[in-house]
Amino acid sequence: MKKRRIEPNIEKFIKHDNAIVLTGARRVGKTSLLKNIFRKIESESKLWFDLDNPLHQKIFEGLDYNDVYKELIDMGLHPKQRKYVFIDEVQNFPEITKVIKYLIDHYKIKFFLTGSSSFYLRNLFPESLAGRKFEFNLYPLDFGEFLYFKGLVKEIPDLKIDFKNITEVRYEKFDQEYTEFIRYGSFPQVVLAESTEEKKLLLADIFKSFFQMDILKLSQYKDVKEIRELIILLTRRIGSKLDISKLAAELGVQRAKVYSYLEFLQATFMINLVSQYSKSVDKSIAAGKKIYFVDTGLASYINQIGEGELFENAVFNSLSRHGTLNYYTDKTQEIDFILNKEYAFEVKLTGAKTYYDKLLKTATKLSLEKSFLISKSFVKDKSVPVVYPQGL
């Protein structure tokens, strides 16, 4: 089983009493990650449950939670040892959170839980597990994890931005792999698939399962046509500022409904919305937001997307692992990404000094001292500060 970058961060809290809650899109690898942790725990006092299985649900349906505890003991938990319970797909049985709270408070059971999205867990946990959980979000593979899953590196590289000028030989080392990374995305199953045909079939199945499970089974939305059409419209606006009025007009719905759909799509790990940079919080919130998809492969499956937009989306996904991102624009100037209110980045398929000079002028106006181009193609002009996507 391949490990994930986030795994050590979760393992730090194995001995803490709080439950560990792992959320993320379907098929992103939540179950595999927790199974890795399950195997690492050197104890026989541990159990695994999958709430897709109705028989596993039945174990937690007892009205007397002490009886639930006794059944867990009968199944293998040791009454005098540290007890670990892993529960997969917890959103399928919302009532279980009350049981979990009771078992944490009265029997010090350590729980590890997975859920398909923060959209459902937000409504599931606010009272029952308040102060009793640590939540982690799992995303598709970053490029370092991608190389590790492909067997091209022995360990996952450290997550850091390579600001150094690299040689053309080093740039070309993983250029082909990065092109694949953008085109087909980074869901683990898709990355490990050997053929293009298999990758496309898996992406189709992931998108289908999103509609069947996250929308039809779990959400309050029953008109999937509106959400489907909105997703298609959003793929045409990658990297662009959203005009909610235009989206509402094209869908034939009220603006409030569009806002509701966007919130849902973000909470179910389909999209990300990026706010405009401003020193004033109020102005940042009021400005329109840009749209990016969590996985470029899934976006490409949904609709044909230009190379420039797809590359910018991939860069966003990489930079977002390093902190908070904003964009900046006014009538004459713009910056694609501002990271942690410190670094200014302009994304280009082919970087050039004219692009950098323009970026530097805008960044200086905003008192941002560090500016870089991010170029998909190799830039031979050493006077241009360039960061390559393979080094994000």
pLDDT, residue 123, reads 61
* pLDDT tens sequence across 329-366: 998 899 999 999 999 999 999 999 999 999 999 999 99
Residue 46 confidence (pLDDT) above 60: yes
The conformational region for residue 24 under phi > 0 = left, psi -120 to 50 = alpha, else beta, is left
The three state secondary structure string of 230-249 is: HHHHHHCCECCECCHHHHHH
What mean pLDDT is predicted for residues 60-67?
94
Instruction: Give the three-class secondary structure for 162.
Output: coil
The three state secondary structure string of 281-295 is: HHHHHHCCCEEEECC
The three state secondary structure string of 102-120 is: HHHHHHCCEEEEEECCHHH
pLDDT, residue 128, reads 65
Instruction: Give the three-class secondary structure for 328.
Output: strand
Contacts of 11 by beta carbon, 8 Å cutoff, 6+ apart:
37, 40
Region of poorest pLDDT, from 7-21, 40-54, 102-116, 204-218:
204-218
What mean pLDDT is predicted for residues 266-284?
82
pLDDT, residue 120, reads 60
Residue 99 confidence (pLDDT) above 90: yes
pLDDT, residue 224, reads 84
- Cite the beta strand spans of 197-285 per DSSP E: 271-274
Please state at what angle helix 196-209 crosses helix 175-184, rounded to 10 degrees: 40
- Cite the beta strand spans of the chain per DSSP E: 19-24, 46-50, 84-88, 110-115, 133-138, 271-274, 290-293, 325-329, 334-339, 343-348, 370-375, 386-387
How far is C-alpha 353 from the chain's CA centre? Answer: 33
CATH number listed for the domain at residues 143-391:
1.10.10.10
Share of residues in the chain with pLDDT > 90 (%) = 81
pLDDT, residue 40, reads 95
Selected residue with higher pLDDT from 313 and 128: 313
pLDDT, residue 338, reads 98
What mean pLDDT is predicted for residues 382-392?
94
The partner residues of 241 in beta bridges, in order of sequence, read: 290
Question: Which phi and psi (to 5°) does residue 323 adopt?
Answer: 145, -155
What token pair was written down for 218? 């779990």
Mean pLDDT of the residues in the chain: 92
pLDDT, residue 222, reads 72
- What is the band of 281 on the pLDDT scale with cuts at 50, 70, 90? low
Q: Give the fold, CATH level 3, of 7-138.
A: Rossmann fold (3.40.50)
Residue 285 confidence (pLDDT) above 90: no
Domain ranges within the chain, ordered by starting residue? 7-138, 143-391
**pTM recorded for the entire structure:** 0.94
* Contact assessment for residue 293 and residue 330, using Cβ atoms and an 8 Å cutoff: no
* pLDDT tens sequence across 260-269: 999 989 988 9
What token pair was written down for 286? 């009021």
- What is the band of 110 on the pLDDT scale with cuts at 50, 70, 90? very high
How many CA atoms lie less than 13 Å away from 56 in the CB half-sphere?
A: 15
What mean pLDDT is predicted for residues 60-69?
95
Selected residue with higher pLDDT from 214 and 379: 379
Selected residue with higher pLDDT from 222 and 196: 196
